[in-house]
Structure 1
Amino acid sequence: MTMQPQPTGTAGETSLSTDPAAETSPGTPSPGGAPTITGRSPGRAAWDRIKRDRVSMAALVISVLFILVAIFASFIAKLGGWGPITTDGKAINPDTGNYPYGTLGGISAHHLLGVEPGTGYDLFARIVYGLRTSLLVGFASAVLSIVVGVIVGLAAGYFGGWIDSLLSRIMDLMLAFPQLLFIIALTPVLQNSLQTNIHGGTNENLRLLILVLCISAFAWAYTARIVRGQALSLREREFVDAARIMGAGWTHILFKQLLPNLWAPILISFALAVPQNITTEAALSYLGVGVVPPNPDWGALLTDASQYALQDPAYLFIPGILLLVLVLSLNLLGDGVRDALDPRANRS
């Protein structure tokens, strides 16, 4: 009979962690009266830990709520009756420099979060559509950077030798770059050198693509460094040796043997990369090299709002607080996922 190499710690096996709660759970009592012990997969054990953590569950609920709002942005904006670039001339006072009528930036039954000074755009619609932009860039750049980082990290950790030395030096070089400064310098150059639309400006979808590529280009090295360290340890395990003896190729070992055992650090890296990328995108738009008005984006909203901070503070605080809540909830969720997937974490 031919023996098949079996990776350890995959999602389909019983957890081998030192945390008893991650390994077993009481089942149906046996005929003798003693309860049977049912094994749980690492994924199920991690989910049980997250459910017991109130902070992580609250962060998960808030994050899912933001994601649902972004997905159904078109429908939700219609509830307010205004589009993201629809001007309401009756909501701003031309005698005061087009500031909103009323208090708190013109909040009323017609404009749930008020209107923008000068333009008369509905702030609720702008925020809802801007959330879609921020989450799209954040998740897309996180996925791309994770994919590149996993491939590079696996190759460096498994092959070793000159391949590991070369890839490690590239990682060190990318980590040494001041990320935000280089993205600020690089993004306008790429936008101006690529195809422009009929109005002479860069197509908005192309601008978003460039943002995703630039953020990912400087973010993959963090994941690659983590995956490389894990792969260096796993390549000496018995199931990898068994795969080599049976004649398995390097692609099979990398993606069928090593990769399934790395899902925990990969998931943690992704969960922590999303809020960081959202913050980077907002900063780039705030500095004028990201999404360009009148296209809605939270960073661009904060840029415009900074001009009216004294006259209309609600215009600054509303998108600013929402951005804080979004990034904070995603960060807390990432911390919760990291703690849930680490069986050696100190939990009360």
Structure 2
Amino acid sequence: MLTRRQFGRNLLGSALLLNGFGLSNAFAAPASRAIVYNCPAEWAGWGAMLELVKKETGIDVPMDNKNSGQAVSQIIAEAKNPVADAAYLGISFAINAKNQGLVENYKGEGWQKVPEGLKDPEGAWVSIHAGTVGFMVNVEALDGLPVPKGWKDLLDPKYEGLMGFLDPSSAFVGYACAVAANHALGGTLDDFKPALDYFKALMQNSPVVPKQTAYARCLSGEIPILFDYDFSAYRARYTDKAPIEFVIPSEGTIQVPYVMSLVKNAPHADAGRRVIDFVLSEKGQKHWAENYLRPVVGDIETLAPEAAAKFLPASEYARAGSVDYAKMAAVQVAFSEAYLKAVKG
């Protein structure tokens, strides 16, 4: 039910539109607010995207510094009294959120444009962009050590204390990196032994394992080698002018999508829907492309040719494969438990 203030605001907004003074684009509406979990300002261009959302739609979306696992845990904790309207999640977390009944189906204008295979057929989630797993390397912070070329290089004691990765049992990027390493080292989604053995051995080199995005820590040199996505490395190098190189591991890697879902019983569901539609609009997809993310509607070469020209050659990306995302979601809990047991002994 609308409060008097909200009702008055809506009447004023309608009057402005009728008199020709409203915003002119299709997304425009009186100012409102949506809570979207897991949109850190320094991650994937979200900081500027939230400003663009406010400018183009009138919807205020506060920055939220959770990771995918923390976002889902919060949604579960708030199930009887939801706070979030939407969530930005790694695809495996979104699939599991659907299976737990935490999200609502939404097939909006943006959903209709996304290719099959990159959206839930029932509308529970929809991909908004994708990235390729690799190494984000601060070459100056290596103090003359060679830039690692593959997963196995990092087992060398000379890299002790110089690398980091987000917690694979909590953050989607951490889990995606573990799946990538497992895939590259001969494992499958039914056999995570290569990855478990790898991370257990890697712990001997004292890696830093944060739960939140560590972008700034890599730029500062605190974590010279960070398991992350290509879009983070390119942004660091070309936007933030940091001494960063992106490495696609010689043994191979994977590309994965990130998605958005509407939270079940969202308190401001309409605002949440409009945010999802906007990030999938031409303006939204162009923003992602300009921030070095692979768009899901259109292609990066058309939407942002200057950004596309800065990517590593296609021959390098030939080592980036894909996996069964539904299977990746199904085995995630079992992997997390096995990972924690392996690294903690």
If the length of structure 1 is used for normalisation, what is the TM-score?
A: 0.21
Larger radius of gyration: 1
If the length of structure 2 is used for normalisation, what is the TM-score?
A: 0.22
Decide which structure has greater strand share.
Answer: 2
